[in-house]
Amino acid sequence: MTFAKFSAFMILGTVIGATAPVYAQQSDAASAAPTATAPAAPAAEAPKGPSADTMKKAKNAGYRAKLKSGQTVFCKEITPIGTHFPEEHCLAENQLLMELDKEQAARDSLGNHSCSSGGACSGK
């Protein structure tokens, strides 16, 4: 081994030996601080997830439940008109329920179409 390689290993070993205790002290202080200041949250205050009924409705409509920023959102891939690239469309629980209600109202209005005005609904 040449003198240059030997001196490089000696310098590297000295640097590691000198910085290891400092790093160990910092990591101990950093790990101790959050546990001392953050009290444990009671289980009763844990955020509730969506109901089983909402999950079932979302799944039937093609939505998948995801966790984003601690909140449950429901996502569905939608391909906008004029493109072949699908986009992920995510809704919060209340937005999902409103969207599902609007879709159901639209289906109901199509089923209740009356032919009293004549024309295309003659059925003959």
Report DSSP letters for 55-111, one per residue: HHHHHHTT-EEEEETTEEEEEEEE--TT-S--EEEEEEHHHHHHHHHHHHHHHHHHH
pTM for this model (two decimals): 0.51
Tell whether the model's pLDDT for residue 67 goes beyond 80.
yes
Q: Which residues pair with 75 in a beta bridge?
A: 64, 90
Average pLDDT over residues 17-43: 54
Rounded to 5 degrees, φ, ψ at 105 are -65, -40
Residue 112 has a pLDDT of: 77
pLDDT at residue 116 is higher than 70: no
Kindly state the percentage of the chain with pLDDT values over 90.
44
**Per-residue confidence at 115, pLDDT binned at 50, 70, 90?**
low
Sign (positive or negative) of CA dihedral 69, 71, 75, 80 = negative
Give long-range contacts, CB 8 A cutoff, 24+ apart: 31-37.
none
Q: Where are the domains of the chain?
A: 50-110
Q: Is the pLDDT of residue 78 over 60?
A: yes
pLDDT in tens, 50-63: 889 999 999 999 99
Say which residue the tokens 């209340």 belong to. Answer: 94
What mean pLDDT is reported for the chain?
75
DSSP conformational letter for 27: H
Comparing 124 with 8, which gets the higher pLDDT? 8
Q: What's the pLDDT score for residue 50?
A: 87
Tokens of 27: 């990591």
* Total residues found in the chain within this entry: 124
At residue 66, the 3 state secondary structure works out as strand
Tens digit of each residue's pLDDT (9 = 90 or more) over 1-14: 576 665 665 665 56
